Structure 1
Amino acid sequence: MVSNGLDFEEGLEDVLASAIDSGVSVYMIGENITVRDSDEVHAEEDGDAHGAGDPHLWLSPLSFTQALPSLTAAINKATGLSIDEAAAIGRLTQLDNEINEVISSVSSCVLLSGHDEMGYFADRYGCTVIGAIIPSFSTTSEATAKQIADLKMLAESNNVKAVFTGLGTPAEVSEQLASELGIAAVSLSTHYLNGAANYREFMLNLADQIAEALR
């Protein structure tokens, strides 16, 4: 069994624990990459369940390349399958290059997101995340009125062109903020394929959405 780790599977802790107790081998991707911490303080009292660090590692293909040597070895051992590690790394590297080309087509990549999920993407592709409607790694947290007011001021001073929302972002808050700023609220599919045939298509769709909104 392969798990994201980093407290991402908030509703599956019992399932994972039961699998481990039953002797199932569980591979945690988050234990095998360089984990990004947030620039902001995600304190437990603010309702952030992800104290282990940013769990949104799939939003940078190169994050996965760090885990591939140990992941392919674990899969080979558990299933007897022979996975071509070099070929997999090559495909992820090519995808990384394609995403970089898309994002490089915009003059300025300044992001205001639904929750604190775009860090790996921003770090890799030269973007700046000025803030999030939900200033937490978790989609289950909530923002205060003061946080929204402060975010509006940040957006105005940074000439933000779109509010990027996603899973768990309260639509009424994001739409009101976008309306007050006179910009679009763009819904991103960051946690599920949403019609994409595979991971490559999912990531390219995401990059295209972001670039189009920032032009």
Structure 2
Amino acid sequence: MLSPLARARSSVALPVLVMLTVLFAAACGGEQRSSASADPEQPLKVVATTTQVADFARNVGGDRVTVHQLLKPNVDPHDYEPSPADMRAIGEADVLVKNGVGLEKWLDETIEAAGFGGTVVDASKGVQIQDGDPHIWHNPLNVKTMAATIEIAFAAADPGDTAAYQANRVAYDEKLDALDAEIARKIESIPVDRRKLVTNHDAFGYYLDRYKLTFVGSIIPSFDTSAELSAKQVSDLVTKIKSTGVAAIFSEASLPPKTAEAIGREAGVTVVAGEDALYGDSLGPEGSAGATYLQMLEHNTDTIVGALRGNPA
């Protein structure tokens, strides 16, 4: 039930509400963290930036953590704006997990405004980065590194549950290894001359490198979805699609398919969109084919294999 002060705040204009929420979070954050460390029965309070690192944090933390996820499913991480609830959660958190590699350009300012005093975990630590590409989760072996980094941070913040975090991470590693082997097997079923990808934006470099697929081009020629193709680049991409024999263009669930469909019509190739669209920057909502990281990679792989073999799902 809301206190009188909380009920009074609910009538305040949004900018004032955000400011009050931030001030309250900053004031009580230290108290919440100290109570968590004093009470071993209280779960570790974790904030995770992206849908992917939130999923990794839940797998590693299990029932010993509560995870507040900042980015919602199918939301472009480049466009995030914090809500009052997000600011309060950050201010009260023990640990904040980020993807890193410059993906969360808004994070430092948000942390400062929220009064966060806990530990920031850069999940990209130890991952071999390709040309500044932040989409490191598209290789499950990178995710093993990310999960290990998260495990170390959780154990440092909550030493009493070190064994639980380690056991959870080992179990997740086994699932990642099995998925990696299954993806490789499925990709091998595509004829070599058809292992070519055109996507909405340049988000799948780590996947392509891991499973030996050829990147022909993207509708948005950048890691950042705010970039746009010029008319000449569109023409050049259509020409390249035709000349290389690309079988399909893959749209992404978090991006509109309109431009991809226009290029597909001009190039005379299938565009994979709608429910079959790939999950690139974000996992999907609960109940979707991309609700978890493991489901997302399985869906992406089945979609790619089906379209490139000529029998889309």
Question: Same fold by TM-score, threshold 0.5 exceeded?
Answer: yes
Say yes or no: does 1:74 pair with 2:153. yes
1:87 is aligned to: 171
Say yes or no: does 1:102 pair with 2:186. yes
Query: Post-superposition shift, 1:173?
Result: 1.8
SS at match of 1:30: coil
Identity between Structure 1 and Structure 2 (%): 33
Question: TM-score, normalization: structure 2?
Answer: 0.59
Q: After TM superposition, list the pairs within 5 Å mapping 1:1-215 onto structure 2.
A: 1-18=96-113, 22-37=116-131, 53-80=132-159, 81=161, 82-83=164-165, 84=167, 85-107=169-191, 108-166=194-252, 169-186=255-272, 187-190=277-280, 191-194=282-285, 195-196=288-289, 197-215=291-309
Query: Post-superposition shift, 1:193?
Result: 2.3
1:43 is aligned to: none
SS at match of 1:26: strand
SS at match of 1:185: strand
- The question of whether the paired residues in 2 share the 8 Å contact of 1:193 and 1:199 is answered with no
Question: One-letter code of the match for 2:304?
Answer: I
Question: One-letter code of the match for 2:294?
Answer: R
| Post-superposition CA distance 1:96-123 (Å, at most 9, x none) | 1111122221113100111110100100
Give the Cα separation in 2 of the matches to 1:105 and 1:151: 26
Give the Cα separation in 1 of the matches to 2:221 and 2:215: 11
- The question of whether the paired residues in 2 share the 8 Å contact of 1:134 and 1:169 is answered with no
Give the Cα separation in 2 of the matches to 1:163 and 1:15: 36
Tell me: CA distance 1:17–1:124, structure 2 relative to 1, closer, same or farther (3 Å).
farther
Give the Cα separation in 2 of the matches to 1:26 and 1:4: 11
Give the superposed CA RMSD. Answer: 1.9
Question: One-letter code of the match for 1:86?
Answer: V
Give the Cα separation in 1 of the matches to 2:118 and 2:139: 28
**Rg larger for:** 2
- The question of whether the paired residues in 1 share the 8 Å contact of 2:283 and 2:292 is answered with no
Runs of 4+ residues deviating >6 angstroms:
none
SS at match of 1:100: helix
- The question of whether the paired residues in 1 share the 8 Å contact of 2:220 and 2:227 is answered with yes
SS at match of 2:124: helix
- The question of whether the paired residues in 2 share the 8 Å contact of 1:115 and 1:169 is answered with no
Query: Post-superposition shift, 1:24?
Result: 1.7
- The question of whether the paired residues in 2 share the 8 Å contact of 1:114 and 1:164 is answered with yes
Gaps of 5+ in 1: 38-52
Give the Cα separation in 1 of the matches to 2:223 and 2:204: 10
Give the Cα separation in 1 of the matches to 2:130 and 2:112: 25
Question: TM-score, normalization: structure 1?
Answer: 0.84
| Post-superposition CA distance 1:156-176 (Å, at most 9, x none) | 111001111225655332111
Instruction: Pick which of 77-86 and 203-212 moved more.
Output: 77-86
Question: One-letter code of the match for 1:69?
Answer: A
Gaps of 5+ in 2: 1-95
Query: Post-superposition shift, 1:14?
Result: 2.3
